[in-house]
Structure 1
């Protein structure tokens, strides 16, 4: 009986994953692709339709040998059948993104919070937003789980080991949040979440081995291997910002000198453009756009700053490519304007730096925008509830 229950569960996830990734399909298409009998498919589809997760769509021609008669009835994900909330906890803001069962963003919003927020105050903000959603008839009884991301060292059970900007250390945040909302919670590092969201919301991107690099105040990284986040032995893999690129470079937040982060983050750009003694106070988030525009206009100081960022990034990526052999590298974060039109140049530079015979990866720019981390957190919640690939890597879940 247990084996039958597991088989049914896996088969249902297989159907949902196939429909989300491939679009409308007939029962015959699904049976052929998943190697299941028509009778089994009929039972499974009936159950998924009853639960509101699958719906009938326009008629489709089966994708096998040509058949006589009318086209088969199509089946599709019922996007309104379930919802997943993603939350990004930043230093001075919380961003929310709600996605549906098709992994499409339904709504997103941002609210300011005090820079010195505590874990308890962050939970209070998230719980209030979550409860507001439950008052909406569209989401009542359909809000399945919550993903939370933050710029911190996070391990597999939802423990935040270190969130330096907010002063958190050894906080079991998943448990705190679950006590407040009584809904499955998943906690992830912000770069991991953004990386996963890019791949999960764009099934056309190869997920055999895709790397993501987030460049902003810090530099975070992540690897997606066979549709899953590569977390390493203890959940802290992906610290790509701490690859060494300079022997005597500037001091990094980790305490070492010459890390990729210390050479390609916002303050590195400011040092390069203004000079080390003339960095302006306040938020540097708009600086990459300004420098990129000035470089395009021919300003020498801006062009040299962009060239320096590109040199450092190329050295770091070349080492990373040699280690991981990815097919795709995605760049995201506030530094994106500096590199937005340099994808082919970066690929060529990497190709000239790696071992002969190693294929240089495609370089892409993030498509998720300002809410990339929140959307990524929501996709992690979706993945843990309804994606087939999670069966082979069961994550800790905080619910009864």
Structure 2
């Protein structure tokens, strides 16, 4: 296959392209891009192909159809920043590409706002639910918008999470002749925006709102639950034992309210998790909790372990919070775990503790007894109310 040239293009069209980009497009036999992008180019003899929808299934067939010809693919801004360049590199290999970037919308937005790029968090809502915007105070965030409706949806989300005072700036058609800027706050936002926009947020919580951080151990009342919840103190210890790393996949087996899987996902945006729960009302509650806490990408499997685990992708870590004493549950989790992966299981009954003790004797790891007491009223005084002790088994597969 001949090298494919990927050219980043902005709203300023042909005149904003570098000499190298213009030269590549002038020499192209085939130019592939969105209808909007193709419309930014001057007339030429090249065959122009608009991406179909959905785009992804068409990539490899289109490249094969035009194999041997000089192909240019248009991308918005920097092709390797949430762009088609990354898709092509993944499918065809980096060696098949020559990339000519254009300033990204993030670079242009920061230039307009006077923000340092390295101090800004970038969140794409293109093809993602607005609930995936995890709002934290004192953070500057640039949201790559999915369309004209996105600013209103973002403002509604911020208000619902207690971040109404957040200043919002919507930048339309950055770099183009129709560039416009709209300023407001999430609390008062009612502005209109064009289809091509970037949303800048200087996140601020309303007075009296206690923001939820990324550190494991969220308050128990942050989750909707029916009592089947790994309590805050034990949850923090459990997440520390699971030791999440970027890009890793967790199985949360017997997930209850989904608290461990949700907190795993909140540690880094590239983390993934599957919550397995046998009761349908709890499975629905897990989905709602994940959306409310900014991680709607959590996969929820309604089914009973170990049968429900059969077709899941191999995990980097497994937490067994419910069903430890179920026939074959721990064995199935151990068999599926990648080499170097961690398994953490919590037991509160003698029967489940006995299972963990046998497994620890068989494959190693450590057993830890966790006992927590919380202060509570005792008549007119205050005393310590002990929670049920938890036996935790932690092991790394070698």
Indicate whether the TM-score tops 0.5. no
- The structure with the largest alpha-carbon Rg is 2
Higher relative contact order (CA 8 A, sep 6+): 1
Structure in which a larger fraction of residues adopt helix: 1
Question: Shorter chain as normaliser: what TM range?
Answer: under 0.3
TM-score (norm 1): 0.26
